[in-house]
Amino acid sequence: MRVPSRAMAAIDSERQAAIDDRLQAGLLEWYGVQGRDLPWRRTSDPYAVLVSEVMLQQTQVSRVVPRFEAWLERWPTADDLAAAPAAEVLAEWSGLGYNSRALRLHATAKAVAEQGWPDDEAGLRALPGIGPYTAAAVTAFALRRPAAAVDTNQQRVLDRWDGAAGRTAVEVRRRALEFVPVDAPDAWNHALMDLGATICTARTARCDACPVASDCASAGLVDPAAERALRRASRQAVPFESTPRFVRGRIVAALVEHGEIALPALAAALPAGITAERIDGALSGLVRDGLVVRAGDALTLPT
């Protein structure tokens, strides 16, 4: 007897729901034993969580830990950071890279100092300098409300679980929210992060060590080497010293060291070999982004 398509859909839905329940329970149980102990996971202070999330963008966890602790020692609250000169904020940020993150964090602190902390994800998203991922992270980790903090690592795990690829960010976030437990949004998001960082990584898929491999659609089928080959084919490797970001970083570092530099003397304050054209391009971008102030030939960091 043929099973009606509507009944088949209901059966498939029930089967998927059971799989999702096992994925959720298995990952949370694993995290309870294997989860990483990180300083920002010991607090629900939204400011501390925000600082950690901004620092963790494009920067390795091992580098962030000491800088996070030093930052909170210097500016323990959003009010403290808001009152600091931008030049000091950039100087403290030096070495973490992507200096615009420091100014965005500074702008967020100023808004919070004036308005207070929002109490939901939409309110956080409305703050200057906060994007969808950061708003979701602060919601889950500080407000302890259901939210899906999904970056490329979490998306990779979710795609492998479902045997899916090519989903949009909105589709992945919607799928991720289906897993988030109302009573433990922080633990769930941390667990998914840790699985992607330690077991289901971009370089290796350690399915033999995965706590939920039995319910993963891609278990034993992932070829990280092939995935890396596809990523390499889509971009051409460029030495960091040849990138605009390198020059931008050196200009900011020089201004942190000297305070003010006359434009004609800028090249001498930078590593040898950087052409005038690259300096001009990087400087124009820094001025446009508010990271450097130019008054005539005088260059300074913002106050």
- Which residues are known to be catalytic? 53
3-class DSSP state for residue 193?
Answer: helix
Beta bridge partners of 299: 261, 294
Type of residue at 91: A
Instruction: Give the whole-angstrom CA distance, residue 28 versus residue 22.
Output: 10
202-to-3, 27, 102, 207 alpha-carbon distances in Å: 41, 19, 28, 13
Are 181 and 28 a contacting pair, CB within 8 Å? yes
DSSP code for 294: E
Q: Cβ of 181: how many Cβ atoms within 10 Å?
A: 13
Q: Which of 157, 167, 155 is nearest to 207 (CA)?
A: 157
